[in-house]
Structure 1
């Protein structure tokens, strides 16, 4: 039997998403992840900062890596982001990965009340400041003057040395410009859940060309995909349960060009909602066909889904499967999450065998 490897010839690595729950429950989930063989877990920034739940998980685990997936760069000072990352790296004893992303103008300005910025320029500056603080806060820092961030470090005391002077930074991306930025400056590229299997395979040449343009090798950057997966022996039920999640993402005007690129532009436009209406997708769910659902969510039994996502491994180093979540009960979410764990356990068994 051929050895199952990832795109760089290494072991296939699996990550998971950690829900925000009482600490004992999160601890139980994290220990289950460790037992199955997950590489790590992410905490999402829906509204609050994602560092707090990862601190709780780090305190209750021994080997599981912890990461922000993602921390939105524009909602806090890059200095606070840097120290949050260093503190989490201390708590986890070197198991932290800082996942950063831009989010959308509609969220940065409309939810957080932050000023409108050039998102990629701002993210580049945040990464630069975070790395500088991480490497120098215990040594002494020179003033920084950038387009969005300026600091003289007045009243700044030297800090204790960090666990690592360079914490890995992964950047989440959907479109080409942000993907290119991630390949240029980060340690990891987290591709958006909207990157279907086919789309990801098509982007392999672009990824390789961009890395070459920046003088980097493929092994310099971990590529991590986040496929939506709905494990259910009743495949049609899985499709139906996933429809609202796809409709929700299709409803954002900012994503229209992406849906055009993958062949679902008309359906996406039929799902677009006015500002302030994205919390309820009931009125547009029926505009999403089964074909569109299956393009973005792999539905069905474990064996069938593993076969469907197999092509990812020609492009990525790790996968973070996610369940659909819109309009689902806690019982449904728990069932689909259990399905993910069963799938990863089977994938690990195949790899070992």
Structure 2
């Protein structure tokens, strides 16, 4: 049997999402991830910065990579982001990946109260400043004057050398413009959960052409996808449990063009909620048919899920499967997380890797 490989002929790598929990629980999850064979784990920025959970995870593991998935660039100074990255990289002894994203305007301005910016331009500038600070803070920094960031660094003390002067920066993307930016300046591209296996495969020509335009090889960048997956032997139950998550995402006006492009524009418009009603999914979940759920969430038993997500590996180096999460109880979330562990353990075992079953 042919050994299964990723898009660049290497070992298929799996990442997971680490919840913020009491330290002993996070330690147990991280160590279990190492035993199963996960490459690494990410912490989300839903509200607070995602660096602290990754520092805690790094302190209780020895092999697991830790990353921000993602840190929203517009909620803090790029200098603070750079130093936070260096801190977690030091704590993890070089296992950190800085995942950056722009989020959406209604989040950055409406929730965090930050000034309105051109999100793409701001993220590009942030990456440049972050890289400069990481590479040079131990030697001294020259003044910077940019469109969104200006500093003279007159009061900055020279710091100790970082563990690495080139911490990997992966950029999260949904639409083509941000995808192109990631392919141009990033060390990694993290594709949105709304990218299904079929859609991801359809973007391969765009990815190849964009890399060639900037003189980059495919091996210069890690492509990492975040599919929603609901492992359940009762497939209809998995679909029903995933419906609220799809309804929640389709309720954002910013995502409407994406739903339109894959044939669910009318359903997405029916789900769009006013700003104050994003928590009340029950009123709109009925607008999401089974077919729309399955367009975005891979549902069913482990074997069926592995078969359906196989096309991702034509494009990506690694996968970070996520469970649906809206309107689920903690018991349901625990069940679906266990399903992801079983999925990864099965995939690793089939690939001939040593993995302990959950």
TM-score bin (small chain): over 0.9
Paired with 1:314 and 1:105, the residues of 2 have a C-alpha distance of 32
Partner deviation per Cα, 1:279-325 (whole Å, 9 max, x = no partner): 22111000001000001000000000000000100000000000000
1:219 paired residue number? 219
Shift of 1:161: 0.1
- Output the aligned Cα RMSD: 0.6
Shift of 1:209: 0.5
Aligned length: 353
1:27 paired residue number? 27
Shift of 1:211: 0.3
Partner deviation per Cα, 1:205-234 (whole Å, 9 max, x = no partner): 100000000110000010000000000000
Shift of 1:276: 2.0
Structure 2 counterparts to residues 101-116 of structure 1, below 5 A: 101-116=101-116
1:277 paired residue number? 277
Does residue 119 of structure 1 match 2:140?
Answer: no
Paired with 1:210 and 1:352, the residues of 2 have a C-alpha distance of 34
Does residue 259 of structure 1 match 2:259?
Answer: yes
Does residue 289 of structure 1 match 2:301?
Answer: no
Moved over 4 A (4+): none
Paired with 1:41 and 1:321, the residues of 2 have a C-alpha distance of 11
TM-score by length of 2: 0.98
Paired with 2:102 and 2:111, the residues of 1 have a C-alpha distance of 14
Structure 2 counterparts to residues 97-176 of structure 1, below 5 A: 97-176=97-176
Paired with 1:56 and 1:11, the residues of 2 have a C-alpha distance of 27
Paired with 2:333 and 2:132, the residues of 1 have a C-alpha distance of 40
Paired with 1:235 and 1:222, the residues of 2 have a C-alpha distance of 32
2:93 paired residue number? 93
TM-score by length of 1: 0.99
Shift of 1:154: 1.5
Shift of 1:250: 0.3
Paired with 2:249 and 2:275, the residues of 1 have a C-alpha distance of 13
Shift of 1:275: 1.2
Gaps of 5+ in 1: none
1:237 paired residue number? 237
Shift of 1:3: 1.1
Gaps of 5+ in 2: 354-358
Partner deviation per Cα, 1:23-63 (whole Å, 9 max, x = no partner): 10011000000001100000000000000000000000000
Paired with 1:156 and 1:305, the residues of 2 have a C-alpha distance of 51
- SS of residue paired to 1:62: coil
1:76 paired residue number? 76
